[in-house]
Structure 1
Amino acid sequence: MRTLLGNLALAVGWAAITHFSVANLLVGFVLGYLILWASPSVAQRNTYFLRGRQLAGFALFFLQDLVRSTLRISHDVLTPAHRMTPAVLAIPLDARTDGEITFLALVVSLSPGTLALDVSSDRRVLYIHAMYAADPEAVRRGIKQGFERRILELLR
Structure 2
Amino acid sequence: MSSLFRALRRTARVLRFLGYFTVRLVIANLVVAREIVTPGSGLSPGIVEFRLRTRTRTEIVSMALAVGLTPGTLTVAIRQHPPALFVHGMHAEDPAKFRAQLSRLQDHLLPALRPVAAGPTEPIRSAGGDSR
TM-score, structure 2 as length reference? 0.79
Q: Secondary structure at the match of 2:5?
A: coil
- Structure with larger RCO (C-alpha < 8 A, sep 6+): 2
Contact 1:54 1:153 in 2 (8 A): yes
- Residue 41 of structure 2 is aligned to residue 82 of structure 1: yes
Cα pair distance change 1:81/1:56, threshold 3 Å: same
Structure 1 alignment gaps of length 5 or more? 1-41
Shift of 1:81: 3.3
> Are the structure 2 counterparts of residues 44 and 91 from structure 1 closer, same or farther at C-alpha, using a change threshold of 3 Å?
closer
Q: Give the structure 1 partner of residue 126 of structure 2.
A: none
Match among 93, 104, 118 for residue 52 of structure 2: 93
* Residue equivalent to 2:32: 73
User: Do the aligned residues in 2 keep the contact of 1:43 with 1:49 (CA within 8 Å)?
Assistant: no
Q: Confirm or deny: 8 A CA contact 1:118 1:126 kept in the other structure.
A: yes
| SS of alignment partner, residue 47 of structure 1 | helix
Gaps of 5+ in 2: 115-132
Q: What root-mean-square deviation, in Å, do the aligned CA atoms of Structure 1 and Structure 2 show?
A: 1.6
Q: Write the distance in 1 (CA, Å) between the matches of 2:84 and 2:16.
A: 26
* 2:129 counterpart of 1:154: no
For residues 43 and 93 of structure 1, the distance between their equivalents in structure 2, rounded to whole angstroms, comes to: 31
Bigger Rg, structure 1 or 2? 1
Aligned structure 1 segments of 4 or more residues deviating by more than 6 angstroms: none
- Rounded Cα–Cα distance in structure 2 between residues aligned with 1:44 and 1:111: 34
